[in-house]
Structures are given as structure tokens and as C-alpha cells.
Amino acid sequence: MMHGKIAIAALSVHAVVKSFGGARVVKDVSLAIKPGEFISLLGPSGCGKTTLLRMIAGLELPDSGTIALGGKDITSVPVWERNIGVVFQNYALFPHMTVAQNIAFGLRTRKTPKSAIETKVRDALKLVRLDGFGPRSTEKLSGGQKQRVALARALVTDPKLLLLDEPLGALDRKLREQMQVELKMLQREIGVTTLMVTHDQEEALTLSDRIAVMSDGRILQDDSPREIYERPRDAFVADFIGMSNFMKGRVVDLDGNKQLAVSENVILKLPPDARDATEISVFLRPEKLTLAELPGAAGSSLPGRIVHVSYSGSVTHCFVDVGLQKPLTVLITNRSNYDHAGPRIGEPIWVHWDARNIVML
């Protein structure tokens, strides 16, 4: 496995359905992953993402639909014959075995010769930077170390596919960010096709080549992280990933340009490629908005008053009441450490934006 000899395989999930006691948890999901790709299933808890992962692993049987790995239908292949690496949420390390015995488990089930096991375990420990940890008990390891043992155990058998179930969920923030980088580098080095289940949007955005956003048993959008963030297809995706300012209104034609009538006297410019519609929702990401003391271009700025300021170190979120249903969230970067005259609550202010950044849902 350490020398790029891995048999990377494509995964294809077709029309998979799964119910538990009458409740449909996964509703007709199809998904294709190219060899070597890193895909995230992102969604809130209970959206069916873990059930989908468990069906791919072979821990659950789909009610209908097919799952194929490397062109071979594995829908009803028993779990122990699939050779898919899984890193469980709680790591599921065997408490009665040492680190080395844990990693060797998958090799022993495959009746690998003893001498080969030793070399492979040593290589796997090196790969996850745990050289010399072999004889240790798993009980005394830190969260990050357990995570790496689980990863080494999953990879040592040269799996055709790697499944990660909320792999970094149990780690604290600093360690999580560090493991994200490590995980991604490792995955790229080995080249194993990877599917990760997560509810952490940041994790999905950083790690994945593609993100499939799931809600209520369906995949809502399956795109690159950039597309998911900048061009979400619907309000759920827009709302689930990052912060958003939603505005609802009527599309009106004014001098051949499409405009959005949010209310009687608030009419906003729409991007040039605006499609025909009557009632629509549009949204703007907070970092696409700016604050200014003077009015901007008509239809791309609104006057308001700051109602709340939330400082978080590198950035500050300002909530500006512009007379719409909800205040607009504006993200400003804290560029200087000597100018303390930041936004103040109650201050009258203008919010500006570029109409091209408006996304129509």
C-alpha cells in the first residue's frame, strides 16, 4: 500500500432505498465516485448519510437499488468479503489488543503470512507517523493517536475504498484542523477512493473534491466545494453551508433590465443572467457585502442601522437592519490592529454589494 500499488476503484451507487421500521431513511439515492476521488456526504444528523455509508460498507442491506465497486456489483456481497476500509466515528479500536494487533487484525483475517504482517504493520505505523507505537495499549492513546491507528488499520489491507464516518468529530478544534490537513495529504499520497460522512461543513469544504449535500434521505446537490458554496441550488444548501442573507421578491422588468421588487420602495438590481420568474428568493453571502458611510449605486445598496456586532478575531459579523424581515449579515475582515473605530451598534450605515454576486434560487 505504501508504494502506490493500490487498486483504486470507482464506486457507483444506483437508486438505493432503505427504510427502518416503515420510516424511509434513504430515498432513491444515486452517487458516482471516480477512482481516487474524495467525496463528502454532508448533511444534518438524521439525513440518511450514515445509513448510506453503512450500506456501502455492507453493514446494512439496501431495500432496493445497487452498489458497485470497481465495476462489480457488491450489493449483496457480505461485509467481510468487500475489502472496504472504514474509520468509525468512535474509532472502534479493539481494547484488548495493542496498537500493532489492532492494525494486524485485517491482515490476520486474510491469512497473511506472519512475516508479511510484521512489515505491513510497521509500514502502516510509519504512514500515520506512529513509529514505535506498536506494542502500546490503545487505551492510553490520545484522541488524535487513536484516530491514526484507526486509519492505519483501515488502510493496511489495501482497501478498494475508504469510508470515513465523522472521522474528526471527537477531536477538539485545533487538533481537528491539523488532522484535516494530514488526512487530505495521506489520501492524496495513497490515492485511495474516499467517501466521508460529516455534518461539519468546513471539514467537507476543506477536504473534498466533491460534496454531496444530503437532507431527508436525498442528495440535494452534488458539486465541487466551490460550486456548493457559491452556487447552491436551493435554500437548504445555501443555508446549511456558510451564512446567508436571503431576500424574497417579485421579478419586474425596468427599462429592459430585470429587477427584484423586495417591497413597495425597495427595488434591487439582479445579475445580468437573471431568469424569468415571478416570485423568487435570492441570496448573498455575508463576505460579498461591504459597509460604507455613503450611498452606493442605486439598486445595489441599502441604508440601515447596525443592530448587533459579533467580533471573532480575524473577522467581525455586523448585523444591519435595512427594513427587511431579517437584518443583513455583513462580514468584515479585521485588517488593522491599531484602528479601534470598528462598527458600533446603533450606527447608521450603508450596505453595498455587487449585483453579480446575487444568487437566485
Partner 1 sequence: MMETARSLPSIWRVINLWIVWIVLIFLLLPILIVIPSAFNTESTVTFPIHGFTLKWFTNAVSRAEFIRSFFLSVSVSVVATLISLAAGGLAAYAMVRRSFRGKGLLELVLLSPLIFPSIVLAIALTMVLGSLGLLRTFPGLVVAHTIVTLPYAVRAMIGTFHSIDPSLEEAAAVLGARRIFVWREVLVPLLRPGLLAAAIFSLIMSFDEFAVSFFVVGPGMTTLPIELFNYTEFYSDPTICAVSTILIILSALAVVAIERSVGLAKLMS
CB of 159 to partner 1, least distance (A): 9
- 8 A C-beta contact, residue 65 and residue 209: no
Nearer to partner 1, 138 or 259 (CB): 138
Angle between helices 99-109 and 143-155 (to 10 degrees): 20
Residues of this chain that bind partner 1 (CB under 8 A): 57-59, 79-86, 88-90, 92-96, 105-106, 108-110, 153, 157
> In degrees rounded to 5, what are phi and psi of residue 208?
-90, 150
What is the grid cell recorded at 324? 427587511
284, three cell numbers: 448573498
Cβ proximity to partner 1: between 103 and 171 the closer is 103
Measured from the CB atom, the residue of 28 and 123 that comes closer to partner 1 is 123
Determine the angle formed by the axes of helices 173-190 and 143-155, rounding to 10 degrees: 20
Least distance in angstroms from the C-beta of 171 to partner 1: 18
Q: Shortest gap between Cβ of 78 and partner 1 (angstroms)?
A: 8
Whether 9 and 36 have beta carbons less than 8 Å apart is answered as no
Smallest gap from residue 27 Cβ to partner 1 (A): 24
CA dist., res. 93 & res. 96, Å (int)? 9
Tell me the closest approach of the beta carbon of residue 12 to partner 1, in angstroms: 20
Least Å from the CB of residue 258 to partner 1? 53
Q: In the complex with partner 1, which residue's Cβ is closer, 45 or 337?
A: 45
Give the residue with the Cβ less far from partner 1, 57 or 322: 57
What percent of the chain is helix, strand and coil (3-state, nearest 5)?
25, 35, 40
Instruction: Between 57 and 238, name the residue whose CB sits nearer to partner 1.
Output: 57
Q: What is the DSSP string of 136-200?
A: SBGGG--HHHHHHHHHHHHHTT--SEEEEESTTTTS-HHHHHHHHHHHHHHHHHH---EEEEES-
- Which sign does the torsion angle of CA 243, 248, 254, 258 carry? positive
